[in-house]
Amino acid sequence: MTNRLTQRDIARLAKVSQTTVSLVLNNRTAASARIPAETRDRVLKVIRETGYVADPLARRLLQQRNQILGVFTYESVFPSASADFYHPFLSGIEESAEELGCDLLLFTSAPVTDGRRRVFHENNRLRIADGSLLLGRRIPAEELSRLVAEKYPFVSVGRRDDPELPDARATIPYVGADYVSATATVTARALQLGHERLAFVGPGEGAESSADRLRGFHQIASRGLHLSPADRELGDVLDELLARQVTAVFVEDLADAATIAEASRQRGLDVPGDLSVVALGDASRPVPSDADYSGFHIPRKEMGRQAVGLLEAILSGEEAETQQLLSCELVEGSTLAKPKGS
C-alpha cells in the first residue's frame, strides 16, 4: 500500500474511530492519554504495516489551529435540557471533542431576524473557531453558499441539499440520518402485515428530513395518502384519516404520533387494532405517554460524534467522505399490527 492512504483507511483497518487515529498520530498528550495501550499499539501496527505517512501539509495545518470547534444551532434558544431533542447531538459532539482535546465554542449571540437566527451577522465570531458544526431543522441556502465561498470549514449535522455553490465541485459536508431507507422499511412492514390504506402525516417538504421521509414512504406506498397538517389541528387530520378508512398512519414526529394515537383512543378506537400509528423519528417536544411506538430512532448522538470526526478530517487536510448518512435504529414497538379482519 502507498502513502495515499488516509486516516479513514487506517481507522477501518485498525477497527477504531478516525478520531482515535488522529490522536495517536498527533500524540496530543492530554487527550491521547485516555486511549488504551492495546488500542494505540493496534493503530501503530497498522501504520507500520501499511507504510502510512501523514501528509506534511496536514501537519502544518494542525500546528496552526486553536483547537476550538464552534457549534451553532439555528434554533432560537440553545437547548440544554436532557429531554430536549438536540441534547443527544450535543452530547455526541462534546464527547468526540473531548477525545480530540478540543474546546467547544457555542455561538449564542446571533440575533434573531424575521424569526430566524443567522450565523452571519455584524459581530459574528466564526473565525475564533477552527471550524464549526451547524445544527437545525432548516439552514438557509444563502448561508451555506457563503460558508463555502469563504472557504470556512464546517459540517452540517443533518443532510443538506446543495444550493447554487460558487464552485461546481463543491459540496455541503454533512453527517445525516438515512430517513429514506428507514421509512421505506417500516412502510414495507405495514404492507406485509396486510395494511392497504396507508397515510403519511407531515409537511413532506421544506426541511430535507421531511422530504426524505415522504420519499421513503412513497417508494413503497406509491399511492399512499399524504396529509400535511399545515394549520389544521391533528384532531381534524384524524377525522380525514378515518373518513378515508386509513388503517396505518406514518407521522414525522413522535409527539404528533402520540397526539393522534391518544385522540383515536378517546374516540373509542383501538391502537393498533383499528389504527396503527408509526413514529418516523423521535419527539421534538415532551410526550406525556411512555408508549413504545413502532418506527425508528434517529442516531442523534452518533451523528454528533461523527460530525466532529468529519470536521477534524477536513481541518487536518485528510481525504474523507464529506457526505455521510447513518442508519436509523428500527423499533418494532407495539403500535403497528395487523389490521382488524386481516
Higher pLDDT, 87 or 33: 87
Would you say residue 206 has pLDDT above 80? yes
pLDDT digit string, tens, across residues 154-199:
999 999 988 777 776 778 999 999 999 999 999 999 999 999 999 9
Best-predicted range by mean pLDDT among 183-197, 233-247, 252-266?
183-197
Of the chain, the percentage scoring pLDDT greater than 90 comes to 49
pLDDT the model gives residue 185? 98
Arithmetic mean of pLDDT, 316-335 = 91
| Residue 137 banded pLDDT, cuts 50, 70, 90 | confident
What domains does the chain contain, in order, with CATH numbers?
A: 7-54 (1.10.260), 65-177+299-328 (3.40.50.2300), 179-298 (3.40.50.2300)
Residue partners of 10: CB distance under 8 A and separation at least 6: 21, 43, 46, 47, 50, 52
pLDDT the model gives residue 153? 93
| ∠ Cα 105 109 112 (to 5°) | 135
Least confident of 98-107, 201-210, 252-261: 98-107
Arithmetic mean of pLDDT, 117-144 = 85
Arithmetic mean of pLDDT, 122-146 = 86
Mean pLDDT of the residues in the chain: 85
pLDDT digit string, tens, across residues 18-75:
777 777 776 654 455 567 888 888 888 887 777 676 655 454 445 567 889 999 988 7
Strands of the sheet with 225-227, listed across from one edge: 225-227, 198-201, 248-251, 276-280, 294-297, 329-331
Arithmetic mean of pLDDT, 213-233 = 91
Q: Is the peptide bond before 140 cis (omega within 30 degrees of 0)?
A: no
pLDDT the model gives residue 209? 95
Higher pLDDT, 22 or 240: 240
pLDDT digit string, tens, across residues 264-295:
999 999 999 999 999 999 988 888 777 899 99
**CB distance 98 to 23 below 8 Å:** no
pLDDT the model gives residue 276? 97
pLDDT the model gives residue 3? 44
pLDDT the model gives residue 337? 96
Higher pLDDT, 319 or 326: 326
pLDDT digit string, tens, across residues 97-108:
988 888 999 887
pLDDT the model gives residue 32? 53
